[in-house]
Amino acid sequence: MRYECRIHVGPAIFRIGSDWAQPIEQLKALYQPYPDCDDAIADFTIRLEAQRFYRRWFRPSVRLSGDYMLPDASPLPLTQGLLAAEMAMNLQMALGWRRHLLLHASAVERDGKVLLMTGESGSGKSTLSALLAEHGWRFLGDEFALVDLDSGDIQGFPRAISLKNSAIDVARDFVGDDARFGPLLTDTPKGAIRHLQPPESAIAAMGETAMPALLLYPSFGYPRATDTVPPTENFVRLTQASTNYVALGEAGFSALVNLVQRVPAHAIDFETNDEALELVEALWARVA
Amino acid sequence: MTRPVEQLVTLLRNPTKASEISGNQWTDILCVARAELLLATLAERLKGKIVPEAVAQIFADARTECAAIQQKARWEAQCAVTALAPLGIPPILLKGAAYLSSGLDAAKGRHIGDLDILVPRDRLDHVEAALLENGWEWVKEDPYDQAYYRQWMHELPPLIHRDRDGMIDVHHTILPLTAKPRPDAEAMIERADDIGDGLKVLDPHDMLCHCAAHFLADGDMAGGLRNLWDFHLLVSEFCTSERSFGELRERAQSHDLWPAIRGTLRLAHDLYGTAWPQDWGAKWSWREALFRRRLLARNGWGQETHPPLRFAIYIRSHWLRMPPFMLARHLWIKWRKGADAERSI
């Protein structure tokens, strides 16, 4: 491949190759504060390839491929190359990672304990984790929570935070520092997307694990409410939220049972950031 | 410098070479191994050898993944037994599932995708009905594909289970009916070994014949390095004397598969160091040289290289399957369908 870089996030190292310079330069800028790993052995290889040879120049479009890929993934225009790389990193983890139980969830830590947030895309879990990361919590990740198969501890995986549509302006208000944002990607399959670097302290501490203490199912845009999620329902919902639960077999089952028995779960609805912070603090006070 | 794909072959052949691989070369080798579905095989092969910690972790992941895949493969095989039991037909397992269920070396770390079984041709309609009744469904609804498979192929169109997502290929002979060699499937079925749990596998020499037919006389060599590794291990396990090689030769001749067996063994000997009997003639031919190049056509990023050679061998695989007029018609219809599909995106 003509251009390449390696990215080290939490326990995983990705090698990304590209037919074009632009996505690699954007990745390097976004992941600049992360540890240098140019000589390290990569866990996964990702390729951003021209769909046909002439498509490198003419209406350039990026085909995602690599160690693990979806056969029917549609190509993206080159302007969305950064998004393609991010999607590919998610895909490698979702399909290939076996060292932890993977939950599609965001995670933040305070006083050695982890708050997990899970839910459908658009539920507000990314924004909420970014918000908490600016309010004294350590950011552990907004895409995957990595659950240790034996201890049940959460391993940090603090990738760049993927903000979508209205969340972009909201995050710019509470982050302030424009330099931490990646380029604005418009007209993607999920609308507008802009990536946010986690705080440097979160990146520096990305190797540290902590035990989970609370699990929330946030829903943005509904009148303020809190509800308990019973363990059985929680278990079933988390099997849906895990990308490798089935592939891990018995080890995945045990890890999930352990998590559900250990960690209380609640659904929270909110309409503003302040409401969200209040609800989180109130529930956190019970487990802290 | 040696290319990563060649280093992979070297490591499979001689695991002690692991200590000579430098940190930077591992990423390429692991990437190639994954692309060739040989990562877990490599992990098993290098068990106990000293490798960097990062590699050991990736190998551990590959073993976990492989264990889950093989467990699923065993379950799928049992489901086929249950479905066919009322007919009194014990399925004869082929390829990966056969190696796994009979505990052969070739199963170590082997990726197993579809379940391939062989059943008597005269019972095909019953087998098909029983599978449909037990939750399997057609993958190819397209009438041309359905008719093509039924009229000319050595297997039914693939079926997929609606709940478990497992694919099953039901073979009734070894090669397409239009191919020139006509292996004696009935004799193979007759000789198949009972391995318990309602399952059968081909007898050792027939298993080798099937492996070579699948590798050389039928396919376009996608996944060739892995299929050839299967062949290497089967030969190493079954053919331990001059006499057993002689028996293999006779069996291959009776199936019209002598050129396939000899060609496959030549490649396996060349790449993996499989034993080569003195009386089997010259070890090298220009044909094998081309196949060798095709097998090693992958770079350190896992990308396929040598597109013209790949295409030529793809065409060859069709050429072997059917007479020229039929081939032209088939490729024309396929090409038109492909073009239609691309336009509709």
Cβ distance of B301 and A42 shorter than 8 Å: no
Q: Which of A96, A128, A157 is the last residue of a domain?
A: A96
Domain residues for the domain of A165 are 100-287
Is A111 found in the same domain as A33? no
Band of the pLDDT at B340, cuts 50, 70, 90? Answer: low
CATH no. for residue A277? 3.40.50
Please provide the distance, in angstroms rounded to a whole number, between the alpha carbons at the two ends of chain B. 42
**Per-residue pLDDT tens for B123-154?**
999 999 999 999 999 887 777 777 777 777 78
Q: What CA–CA distance (Å, rounded) separates B317 from A115?
A: 56
* Tokens (6 digits) for B93: 């397992």
**Per-residue pLDDT tens for B240-264?**
999 999 999 999 999 999 999 999 9
Contacts of B222 in chain A (CB under 8 A): none
Question: Which pLDDT value is given to residue B341?
Answer: 58
What is residue A224's three-state secondary structure? coil
CATH no. for residue B291? 3.30.460.40
What one-character-per-residue DSSP string does B316-337 give? HHHHHHS-HHHHHHHHHHHHHH
Chain B residue whose CA is closest to A15: B27
Q: What CA–CA distance (Å, rounded) separates A226 from A219?
A: 10
Q: Which residue has the higher pLDDT, B315 or B18?
A: B18
Domain residues for the domain of B113 are 4-343
Q: Which residue has the higher pLDDT, B145 or A82?
A: A82
* Tokens (6 digits) for A282: 């109130």
Question: Which pLDDT value is given to residue A56?
Answer: 79
Q: What is the average pLDDT score of chain B?
A: 91
Residue A265 has pLDDT above 50, yes or no: yes
What is residue A24's three-state secondary structure? helix
Cβ distance of A41 and B23 shorter than 8 Å: yes
Chain A, 60 to 79: residues with Cβ < 8 Å from chain B are 66-67, 74
| CA-based nearest residue to A157, from A176, A174, A143 | A143
Question: Which pLDDT value is given to residue B336?
Answer: 77
Chain A residue whose CA is closest to B32: A67
Question: Which pLDDT value is given to residue A45?
Answer: 97
Question: Which pLDDT value is given to residue B281?
Answer: 87
Mean pLDDT, range B290-312, rounded to an integer: 91
Is A181 found in the same domain as A71? no
Contact between A174 and A196 under an 8 Å Cβ cutoff? The reply is no
User: CB-hemisphere CA count at 13 Å for A85?
Assistant: 30
- Mutation for B interface: A14, A45, A102, most B CBs within 10 A: A45
Band of the pLDDT at B334, cuts 50, 70, 90? Answer: confident
DSSP A119: -
| Residues from B in contact with A at Cβ < 8 Å | 23-24, 26-27, 30-31, 34-35, 52, 54-55, 57-58, 60-61, 64-65, 67-68, 71, 301-303, 345
Q: Which of A47, A69, A96 is the last residue of a domain?
A: A96
Is A171 found in the same domain as A119? yes
Is A139 found in the same domain as A112? yes
**Per-residue pLDDT tens for B6-38?**
999 999 999 999 999 999 899 999 999 999 999
* Tokens (6 digits) for A100: 């932890």
* Tokens (6 digits) for B16: 């002690």
Cβ distance of B301 and A47 shorter than 8 Å: yes
Strand partners, A225: A269
Report how many domains make up chain A. Answer: 2
Is A65 found in the same domain as A122? no
Residue A91 has pLDDT above 60, yes or no: yes
Chain B residue whose CA is closest to A38: B24
Q: Which of A78, A96, A114 is the last residue of a domain?
A: A96
Closest partner CB to B61 (pick from A13, A45, A98)? A98
Is A272 found in the same domain as A170? yes
Report how many domains make up chain B. Answer: 1
Contacts of B60 in chain A (CB under 8 A): 98-99
Is A262 found in the same domain as A121? yes
Is A162 found in the same domain as A46? no
Contacts of B27 in chain A (CB under 8 A): 15, 41-42, 45
Cβ distance of A247 and B61 shorter than 8 Å: no
Is A136 found in the same domain as A72? no
Question: Which pLDDT value is given to residue B152?
Answer: 75
Cβ distance of A41 and B61 shorter than 8 Å: no
Q: What CA–CA distance (Å, rounded) separates A22 from B20?
A: 36
Q: Does residue A5 belong to the interface with chain B, where contact is any CB pair within 8 Å?
A: no
Is A202 found in the same domain as A88? no
* Tokens (6 digits) for B37: 């579905």
Contacts of A13 in chain B (CB under 8 A): 54
Return the biggest CA–CA distance within chain B: 59
Contact between B77 and B35 under an 8 Å Cβ cutoff? The reply is no
Question: Which pLDDT value is given to residue B345?
Answer: 43
Is A43 found in the same domain as A119? no
Closest partner CB to A99 (pick from B35, B61, B345)? B61
Write out the H or E segment, with its range, that includes residue B29.
helix B23-35
Is A80 found in the same domain as A160? no
Cβ distance of A41 and B55 shorter than 8 Å: yes
